[in-house]
Amino acid sequence: MPLAALALLLALPATPGESVRIAVGRFPDVVEVKAQGLVVIADGTSAPADKGYVRITAGKGGPRVAGRELKADVVRLEAPGTLALRGHTYHQRLEVQWRRYDGKPELLVVHPLDLETYVAGIVSSELPGGWPLEAYKAQAVAARTFALWQKYRRLDLPYHLEASVLDQVYQGVEREHALAQQAARETMGEVLTWRHLVAQAYFHASCGDRTESAREGWGTELPYLPGSTCGTCKLATRYGWNARIARADVDRALAPLLGEPLVAVSVKGRTASGRAKGVLLAGKTKQRTITAADLRRLLGYSTVWSTFIDKLAFEGGALVVHGKGSGHGVGLCQWGARGLADDGVGYREILARYYPGATLRRAY
């Protein structure tokens, strides 16, 4: 190897080249970004933004900057530090992509960043501060694995991951904390695999003692997600929860499915972990069964926290739901990982508990 090339290699940053593209926002008409030393790159030119601020609007045929419609669909924004967009801050780069969505122009903002920085951000956004390091490390491996799996199934899309609970919650720089960064660093490049492929490392807030199998949760048979005994998430905020939903709200959400007022609601069938499979909606003359997952969607994910429903019945003027755990219940239980880490269990063992049979490997 020529000496110059070797010198160049040695000069490369220690962080490996794996990167991800996160969709951080979609705007129907205007995007405003602020940053110190902000540079706007589009149509083959690069110019410093006036006062470190740029306003991009969705023109009919492309993005508009300073009243001028650009030829290119993408405007790149770069800064030496962080860029501020709608209450969040992001590292160094954003891309504003003009596109048509449902026939209307919109601006999609994508944040390209290296995977390790992203993992630290996810750990910070998904888990509160003050937890033991091994829990953060288990979450770091799960988040990295999930991100890589999503990336390679969305390579031809403008972005790989949503910044919301649809994928993994990413809230930008301001949420990053030191232990999350340490967890990413100490597990750098480590991913869970199954038969040499990147695993689908789902995770959720708390399971309520038993995680759900991928087969019953998603309808997909994944041998490393058979449903596990957890038992260490009793400290979870929503280990046990109650919801009281006003009759009028229940009718608005569910009666149209039945075509008549609801008289009774009950759990119909349970999965091996004990979660509700279906929910029977009964009227005076008709009955209909919906999935418990649909019940959550229709009544609100932050009202019915899981499908681990112990009790479901009309009481007085409301539907009363008693349940356990929070989230879909598949894969790593975050509060359970914390409980294990509190007991001195290391991240490899924590991962083996929730993804039994999956192999931990260094991808880079």
Measured from the CB atom, the residue of 95 and 209 that comes closer to Zn ion is: 209
Which region, judged by CB under 5 A, interacts with Zn ion, from 110-118, 132-140, 206-214, 264-272?
Answer: 206-214
Encoded amino acid at 55, one letter? R
CB of residue 355 to Zn ion, shortest distance in Å: 14
Q: Rounded to 5 degrees, what angle do the CA atoms 81, 135, 145 make? A: 65
**By CB under 5 A, residue 142 contacts Zn ion:** no
Measured from the CB atom, the residue of 77 and 350 that comes closer to Zn ion is: 350
Measured from the CB atom, the residue of 112 and 227 that comes closer to Zn ion is: 227
Give burial (CB, 10 Å; 0-12/13-18/19+) of 182.
middle
Residues 298-357 that bind Zn ion (CB under 5 A): 333, 336
Measured from the CB atom, the residue of 58 and 233 that comes closer to Zn ion is: 233
**By CB under 5 A, residue 123 contacts Zn ion:** no
Measured from the CB atom, the residue of 238 and 322 that comes closer to Zn ion is: 238
CB of residue 334 to Zn ion, shortest distance in Å: 8
Measured from the CB atom, the residue of 151 and 338 that comes closer to Zn ion is: 338
Residues 248-267 that bind Zn ion (CB under 5 A): none
**By CB under 5 A, residue 233 contacts Zn ion:** yes
Nearest to 141 by CA among 173, 172, 119: 119
CB of residue 95 to Zn ion, shortest distance in Å: 38
Chosen residue from 42, 85, 138, 207 binding Zn ion by CB under 5 A: 207
CB of residue 244 to Zn ion, shortest distance in Å: 25
CB of residue 305 to Zn ion, shortest distance in Å: 13
CB of residue 321 to Zn ion, shortest distance in Å: 19
Measured from the CB atom, the residue of 168 and 206 that comes closer to Zn ion is: 206
Q: What is the largest CA-CA distance in the chain?
A: 84
Which region, judged by CB under 5 A, interacts with Zn ion, from 90-98, 108-116, 203-211, 264-272?
Answer: 203-211
C-beta neighbour count of 212 within 10 angstroms: 29
Contact 139, 332 (CB under 8 A): yes
Measured from the CB atom, the residue of 59 and 346 that comes closer to Zn ion is: 346
CB of residue 332 to Zn ion, shortest distance in Å: 9
CB of residue 325 to Zn ion, shortest distance in Å: 7
Instruction: Give the binding-site size for Zn ion (rule: CB under 5 A).
Output: 5
Chosen residue from 77, 135, 192, 230 binding Zn ion by CB under 5 A: 230
Which region, judged by CB under 5 A, interacts with Zn ion, from 110-118, 138-146, 199-207, 261-269?
Answer: 199-207
Measured from the CB atom, the residue of 62 and 329 that comes closer to Zn ion is: 329
Residues that bind Zn ion (CB under 5 A): 207, 230, 233, 333, 336
